[in-house]
Amino acid sequence: MDKSADPCVDFYQYTCGGWMKGNPIPSDQPRWDVYRKLGQDNQRYLWGILEKLAKETKGRNATQAKIGDYFAACMDEAAVEKLGAAPLKPYLDRIEALKSRKELPALLGSLHLATADDGLFFGFGSDQDYSNSTQVIAFASSGGLGLPDRDYYLKDDDKSKEIRAKYLAHVAKMFELLGDAPDAAQANAQRVMEMETALAKASLTRVERRDPYKLFHKMDLKGLQALTPGFDWREYLKAAGLRQLNTFNVTEPAFYQELERQWHSRSIDDIKTYLRWHMAADHAQLLSSAFVNENFNFYAKQLRGVPELRPRWKRCVALVDRQLGEALGQEFVSRAFSPQLKQRTLHMTRQIEKAMEDDIKSLAWMSEPTKKRALEKLRTIVNKIGYPDKWRDYGSVKVKRDDFVGNVERATLFESRRQLAKIGKPLDRGEWGMTPPTVNAYYNPQMNDINFPAGVLQPPLFDAKMDDAPNYGNTGGTIGHELTHGFDDQGRQFDAQGNLKDWWTREDAKEFTDRAQCIVDQYKQYTVVDEIKINSELTQGEDIADLGGLILAWMAWKTQTEGAKLADRDGLTPEQRFFVGYAQWACENNRPENQRVHAMTDPHSPGKYRVNGLVVNMPEFTQAFSCKPGQPMVSERRCRVW
Residue ranges in contact with Zn ion by CB under 5 A: 542, 545
Cβ burial, residue 227 (10 Å; 0-12/13-18/19+): buried
Nearest distance, CB of residue 477 and Zn ion, angstroms: 11
Nearer to Zn ion, 30 or 491 (CB): 491
Cβ burial, residue 437 (10 Å; 0-12/13-18/19+): buried
Q: What are phi and psi of 606, to 5 degrees?
A: -60, 150
Nearest distance, CB of residue 549 and Zn ion, angstroms: 9
Nearer to Zn ion, 101 or 206 (CB): 206
Cα torsion angle, 153, 158, 163, 169, sign: positive
Helix (H, G, I), strand (E, B) or coil at 386: strand
Nearest distance, CB of residue 599 and Zn ion, angstroms: 17
Nearest Cα neighbor of 415 from 112, 639, 45, 2 is 112
Q: Are 478 and 462 in contact (CB under 8 A)?
A: no
Helix (H), strand (E) at residue 219: strand 218-219
Tell me the C-alpha distance between 67 and 577, whole Å: 42
Nearest distance, CB of residue 178 and Zn ion, angstroms: 40
Nearer to Zn ion, 490 or 499 (CB): 490
Nearer to Zn ion, 231 or 462 (CB): 462
DSSP code of residue 627: P
Q: What is the DSSP string of 489-518?
A: TTGGGB-TTS-B---S-HHHHHHHHHHHHH
Nearest distance, CB of residue 528 and Zn ion, angstroms: 18
Tell me the C-alpha distance between 353 and 483, whole Å: 8
Tell me the C-alpha distance between 192 and 29, whole Å: 29
Nearest distance, CB of residue 587 and Zn ion, angstroms: 18
Nearer to Zn ion, 407 or 474 (CB): 474
User: What are the Cα distances from residue 225, in Å, to 187, 234, 261?
Assistant: 32, 9, 14
Nearer to Zn ion, 262 or 474 (CB): 474
Nearest distance, CB of residue 596 and Zn ion, angstroms: 21
Nearer to Zn ion, 69 or 546 (CB): 546
Nearer to Zn ion, 353 or 542 (CB): 542
Q: What is the DSSP string of 549-569?
A: HHHHHHHHHHHHTTT--PPPB
Cα torsion angle, 246, 249, 254, 256, sign: negative
Q: Are 595 and 306 in contact (CB under 8 A)?
A: no
Nearest distance, CB of residue 487 and Zn ion, angstroms: 12
Tell me the C-alpha distance between 605 and 617, whole Å: 16
Nearest distance, CB of residue 102 and Zn ion, angstroms: 45
179 CB-near residues (< 8 Å, 6+ apart): none
Nearer to Zn ion, 140 or 441 (CB): 441
Nearer to Zn ion, 288 or 345 (CB): 345
Nearest distance, CB of residue 441 and Zn ion, angstroms: 8
- H runs (alpha helix) in 56-125: 62-75, 77-83, 89-96, 104-115
